[in-house]
Every structure is written in structure tokens, then in C-alpha cells.
Amino acid sequence: MNILDKIITRKKEEISLSKSQVSLKDLKNSAFFERKTFSLKDTLVQKSGIIAEFKRKSPSKGIINNQSDVLEVAKTYEKCGASGISILTDSDFFGGNFDDILKIRNEIQIPILRKDFMIDEYQFYEAKSIGADVVLLIAACLSPVQVQEFTELSHELGLEVLLEIHTEEELKCFNKNIDLVGINNRNLQDFKVDLQHSVDLKNLLPAGTLSIAESGIYSVQDYQFLKSKGFDGFLMGEYFMKNENPGQKFEEFISHLAR
């Protein structure tokens, strides 16, 4: 079984457990459910364009950072100009949890992307209830109809949608209601990173689509290359997280761009 199938199999078990413990009604009664969300479409153009990620581990890299404090890192990301913060909420494979979002929600004023494997309507209510603003839809694990339906539900809940694609084939999941398209530079099957592949794919998107280059951006040069090719946003995790102080690494990175 490939890694994505493994993750999805586990995710299905997790979701049915969550459903048995927390009802939809409970989710709707949560403190954050009625809050007005922040728009990543707005902050992407107003700020640096970088969506900085908090990620403890991953299937491709193993442990990345086990000691940093999510609140400290999130505050520094915000202070230094991040357009948004991506928080992995998958625990088994990425070491994340809902508390990471709950802890920072009231402390920062930029959008939070709930980064997880979204395959069931329930998870969108969950995302809203913990204070997320944006959800990730991964085309590799969804049908075009699911993407359409999940996008509608997200919008009803006031969440924006980032659709992640990696192949030309997955473009069939795109629809005009999608808020942002992320092109993953990393192949989720073999973890290879190829920036040019993403540039080629970006050129197939309808003009005016907000595009985000995701993963494997490891230097100012990588960033500048992708920016010069017209990407509007940049999702970066490991480059910051593999340091003892991810916030400081982000601050340094931003200061290099300003020069």
C-alpha cells in the first residue's frame, strides 16, 4: 500500500471514532463556530505571500522538530509578515493535533490553514469549530464531485479552500469556486521534489487563479525562481521547522527577501 492509501485508511478510522465521541451538534456549539474567518486570498497579496507551516514530523523526513512551542512560533511568523500559518492536524503521520490551532487562534490575526486529509463532511465542521480559516483539499484523494461538494460546504461555513494538485490529471478536480490552487512540488508517492514540474503545471491553470507553490522550497533562490514564474504564494515548512528556532529562521528568510 502506498503512503497516501495508508494515511487515508487510518484517517477513516479516526473520523469514525471522532464522530462517535463528538456530535455535529457539539461542533456547531463550539466557541469558534460562529466566528468570522480571515481571508487568505486577502492576506496573500497584502503580506509576504508566505504561508509558514508548523510541522513536527512527516512520512518523508521523520522527526523534524519535536521541541518548539506552537504559540511562540506562530506569533513570530505573524510578526515577521507571514500571510498565513499552516498547521498540520494529523497526529499519526505528522505529529499534529487540534490543540495546536486552539492554542493560537485568539493570539494571532492572520488566517490558519487546517492541513489534514479531508475526506468527510464532518471534518469541515471540525475545522470551523477549532478556529481554522482555510482547508486543504488534496486532489489525489478526492473525486471532482467531492471537491465540488466540499468546496460548497466550506463556503457555507465561511472557510476558504486550497486545492492541492500535483499532476495534470488532477486538474480535473479544479472548479471555478476554488479559492486558491496549491501545486505540490513534492510527489506524495515517492517524495521527489521538482520545482520546474510545478511551473509547467501552473501554466495550465486558468488566468487569474491564485496559485501557491508548495513544499521543497529550501532557499531564497528557490523562492525567487517560483516568484519569477508568477506564483502568488509559497507554502514552506521544513526549511523553518528543522531549526531549533523556526520563528527566527523565518525572520532571517524574510529579511533576505527585502534586500
Ligand X SMILES: O=P(O)(O)OC[C@@H](O)[C@@H](O)c1c[nH]c2ccccc12
Sign of CA dihedral 102, 105, 107, 111: positive
Rg (CA), the chain: 17
| Residue (of 50, 40, 43, 42) closest to 257 by Cα position | 50
Burial of 78 (0-12, 13-18, 19+ CB in 10 A): buried
Instruction: State the nearest-atom distance from the C-beta of 31 to ligand X, in Å.
Output: 27
- Single out the segment in contact with ligand X by CB under 6 A; choices: 36-44, 172-180, 212-220, 246-254: 212-220
Residue type, 204: L
Which 8-state DSSP code applies to residue 133? S
Instruction: State the nearest-atom distance from the C-beta of 216 to ligand X, in Å.
Output: 5
Which one, 226 or 235, has the nearer CB to ligand X?
A: 235
Q: Report 149-208 residues binding ligand X (CB under 6 A).
A: 164, 184
Q: Report 61-120 residues binding ligand X (CB under 6 A).
A: 115
Which one, 25 or 190, has the nearer CB to ligand X?
A: 190
State the cell numbers at 176: 471555478
**Which of 57, 210, 235, 250 touches ligand X (CB under 6 A)?**
235
Instruction: State the nearest-atom distance from the C-beta of 195 to ligand X, in Å.
Output: 11
- Single out the segment in contact with ligand X by CB under 6 A; choices: 32-40, 77-85, 152-160, 233-241: 233-241
Burial of 225 (0-12, 13-18, 19+ CB in 10 A): middle
Which one, 4 or 205, has the nearer CB to ligand X?
A: 4
CA distance 179 to 163: 8
CA 131, chain centre distance (Å): 14
Three-state DSSP class for 253? helix
Q: Report 36-55 residues binding ligand X (CB under 6 A).
A: 53, 55
Instruction: State the nearest-atom distance from the C-beta of 217 to ligand X, in Å.
Output: 6
Which one, 35 or 227, has the nearer CB to ligand X?
A: 227
**From the CB of residue 75, how many other CB atoms can be counted at a distance below 10 Å?**
16
Q: Does 11 bind ligand X (CB under 6 A)?
A: no
- Single out the segment in contact with ligand X by CB under 6 A; choices: 145-153, 197-205, 215-223, 244-252: 215-223
Q: Does 214 bind ligand X (CB under 6 A)?
A: yes
**From the CB of residue 107, how many other CB atoms can be counted at a distance below 10 Å?**
10
Q: Which chain residues interact with ligand X by CB under 6 A?
A: 53, 55, 115, 138, 164, 184, 214-217, 235-239
